[in-house]
Structure 1
Amino acid sequence: MARFILLVCFALQPFCLLEAGETRTWEGKWNNRKYNTTGPLKCVATSDEKGIWKATFTGLFKGDPFKYQATFRSQAKGQQLNLTGDATIRGHKYQWTGFMKGATLSGKYRSNIGYYGEFVLKQKK
C-alpha cells in the first residue's frame, strides 16, 4: 500500500500536498492595486506538522528590494491548501488569504494603510 501511495504522489507530484518539514520555493509576480504597480516575488516556505508555515518573501517594490517573514496557517481541502496569514512589512500590518494547488501559490493581501493586491507564484524545483 505504501508503494502505491508513493507511486501516486510521484505521478501526481504537482497535486500532492506538502509534508511537514518540507521546504518549497515559488517565484512569480505580485500586483499592488492601490498604485497599479507590480514586481517580482519569491517565497521560500516550510511547514510543520500542525499546518503552520514560516515563509520568507523577497522581491522588488518600485525598484527597492524588500524581504519579510510571514507566518500562515493552512487547511487542506481536497488537493488544495487554503491559507490565511499576516505579516508586518516596514511597520505596516498585512493580512492575506490564498491557496496552494499543484505547483501554484496564490494569494490576496490588504494592509492597514490601504495597500491591496494579489500574487501568483509557480513552484521552482
Structure 2
Amino acid sequence: MLRCILLAILATMGSSCLQAGETRTWEGKWNNRKYNTTGPLKCVASSDDSGKWKATFTGLFKGDPFKYEATFQSKPMGKQLNLSGDAVIRGHQYQWTGSMKGNMLNGKYKSNIGYFGAFVLKEKK
C-alpha cells in the first residue's frame, strides 16, 4: 500500500534548472494520510531535454523495503519546476503532483482506492 503511495510520490521532485542527463538524489520522508503511516524515502532521478523524468524511489513501509520506478513530466514555473504524472502500482491508478525548488522535492499523491499523502525530500550531495 505504502509502496504504491511512494511511486506516486516519485512524481514530485524538488529542485530547479537540472541539466539533461544529470542525476540527482533526494532523501526524506513520505506519509500516508489515510492510515497515518510514515517512513523514509529516497529518490534518484534524471531528466531529458524535453522535461521528462525517470526516477527510482526506495524506502521502507512498516520496516518492509520497497522500490518503484516512475516517469513524469516537468514544467518550469518561475524558480521551480512543477511536476505531474500517473502511475499504476499493484494494479491501482495513482496521480501525483509536486515541485522541485532549490534543493527540495515535494509531492502529493492519491490513488483510485483511497490512498493519499505527501512527501518532502531534501537533496543529498
TM-score in same-fold range (> 0.5): yes
Query: What does 1:14-53 correspond to in 2, within 5 Å?
Result: 17-53=17-53
Which of structures 1 and 2 has the larger relative contact order (alpha carbons within 8 angstroms, sep 6+)?
A: 2
Percent identity over the alignment? 77
Residue 102 of structure 1 corresponds to 102
Larger radius of gyration: 1
Query: What does 1:85-124 correspond to in 2, within 5 Å?
Result: 85-124=85-124
Contact 2:26 2:105 in 1 (8 A): yes
* Offset at residue 79 of structure 1 (A): 1.1
* Offset at residue 112 of structure 1 (A): 1.4
CA separation in 2, counterparts of 1:53 and 1:92?
A: 21
* Offset at residue 65 of structure 1 (A): 1.0
Residue 77 of structure 1 corresponds to 77
Contact 2:80 2:100 in 1 (8 A): yes
Aligned amino acid, residue 108 of structure 1 = K
1:57 to 2:36 alignment: no
Residue 68 of structure 1 corresponds to 68
Q: Structure 1: which 5+ residue stretches go unaligned?
A: 1-14
Residue 9 of structure 1 corresponds to none
Shift of the 79–54 alpha-carbon distance from structure 1 to 2, 3 Å rule, reads same
Aligned residues: 111
Q: Structure 2: which 5+ residue stretches go unaligned?
A: 1-14
Runs of 4+ in 1 over 4 A off after TM superposition: none
* Offset at residue 89 of structure 1 (A): 2.1
CA RMSD across the alignment: 1.1
Residue 6 of structure 1 corresponds to none
* Offset at residue 85 of structure 1 (A): 1.1
